[in-house]
């Protein structure tokens, strides 16, 4: 997918202290590449036991850049400020979702054991840069230049296991016992650097880095009854 956008913005702002006009021209180009793969594999060991594997993965790569020019003027035409900005980025995302399901029936009708295992992985890497120049027209002309680069490396992983046992009680009544355990790990690493003539320095306000890990467990007991008019 290739997306080109040319945009022109003209806006008039009404304020008690006086009106002012804002004009902006921007050009943007984005290229997006997607690949997807799905897998389903099922095997029956016998009439009472089976194994099912499902998986899907997706790879996404995006590159893009944007350039914009803007200016703000008072209602009388007096120039207040001007801005020029150029940014570019390149990112790659990989997603993987898998599920393994085991079903086991026993000799007694209605007695079953089901277990499932899930693994989900989502990773995103991105590199980008920003250069913005602003001019302010007051008593004297002042300029403000921002030159930055950013690197992101984020990862999210989930492991989950679920076990369910069903015991028939007769007369279409069942007792179910289940247990679930899940572990989630989330890592965020976003580094932003200010580019200076003598090198680069870390921007503490925009840099964000942390790791979060959680463990969740749940056990349950269910009673189920099936009838012709209700369940």
Which residue is associated with the tokens 């749940």? 218
Half-sphere exposure of 63 (CA within 13 A, CB side): 1
- Give pLDDT, residue 128: 96
Which residue is associated with the tokens 């086991």? 104
Which residue is associated with the tokens 């890592």? 187
- Give pLDDT, residue 18: 83
Q: Which residues contact 175 (CB under 8 A, 6 or more apart)?
A: 166, 167, 169, 221, 222, 223, 224
Count CB-CB contacts under 10 A for residue 72: 19
- Give pLDDT, residue 198: 82
**Encoding tokens for residue 115?**
């277990």
Q: Which residues contact 127 (CB under 8 A, 6 or more apart)?
A: 89, 90, 91, 149, 150, 151, 152
For the chain, the DSSP string reads -EEEEEEEEEEEE--TT--EEEEEEEEEEEEEEEEEEEEEEEEESSSSEEEEEEEEEEEEEEEEEEEEEEEEEETTS-EEEEEEEEEEEEEEEEEEEEEEEEEEE-SSTT-EEEEEEEEEEEEEEEEEEEEEEEEEESSSEEEEEEEEEEEEEEEEEEEEEEEEEEEEEETTEEEEEEEEEEEEEEEEEEEEEEEETTEEEE-TTT-EEEEEEEEEEEEEEEEEE--SS--
Count CB-CB contacts under 10 A for residue 200: 12
| This model's pTM is above 0.85 | no
- Give pLDDT, residue 78: 87
**pLDDT by position in tens, the chain (length 231):** 999 999 999 999 998 988 899 999 999 999 999 999 999 999 999 999 999 999 999 999 999 999 999 999 988 788 999 999 999 999 999 999 999 999 999 999 889 999 999 999 999 999 999 999 999 998 899 999 999 999 999 999 999 999 999 999 988 899 999 999 999 999 999 999 999 888 899 999 999 999 999 999 999 999 999 898 999
- How far apart CA 158 and CA 186 sit, in angstroms, is 9
Bridge partners of residue 201, in order along the sequence: 194
């Amino acid at each position: 997918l290739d997306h080109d956008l040319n945009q022109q913005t003209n806006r008039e702002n009404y304020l008690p202290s006086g009106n002012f006009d804002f004009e902006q021209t921007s050009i943007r180009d984005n290229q997006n590449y997607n690949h997807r793969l799905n897998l389903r594999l099922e095997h029956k060991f016998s009439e009472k036991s089976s194994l099912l594997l499902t998986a899907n993965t997706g790879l996404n790569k995006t590159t893009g850049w944007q350039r914009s020019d803007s200016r703000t003027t008072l209602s009388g035409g007096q120039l207040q400020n001007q801005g020029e900005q150029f940014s570019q980025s390149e990112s790659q995302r990989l997603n993987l979702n898998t599920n393994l399901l085991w079903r086991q029936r026993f000799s007694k009708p209605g007695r079953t054991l089901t277990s499932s295992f899930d693994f989900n992985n989502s990773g995103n890497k991105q590199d980008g840069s920003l250069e913005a120049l602003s001019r302010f027209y007051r008593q004297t002309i002042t300029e403000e230049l921002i030159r930055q680069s950013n690197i992101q490396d984020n990862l999210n992983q989930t492991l989950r296991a679920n076990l369910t046992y069903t015991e028939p009680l007769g007369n279409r009544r069942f007792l179910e016992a289940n247990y679930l355990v899940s572990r989630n790990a989330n890592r965020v690493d976003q580094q932003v650097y200010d580019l200076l003539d003598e090198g680069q320095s870390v921007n503490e306000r925009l840099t964000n880095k942390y790791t979060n890990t959680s463990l969740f467990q749940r056990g349950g007991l269910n009673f189920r009854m099936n009838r012709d008019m209700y369940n």
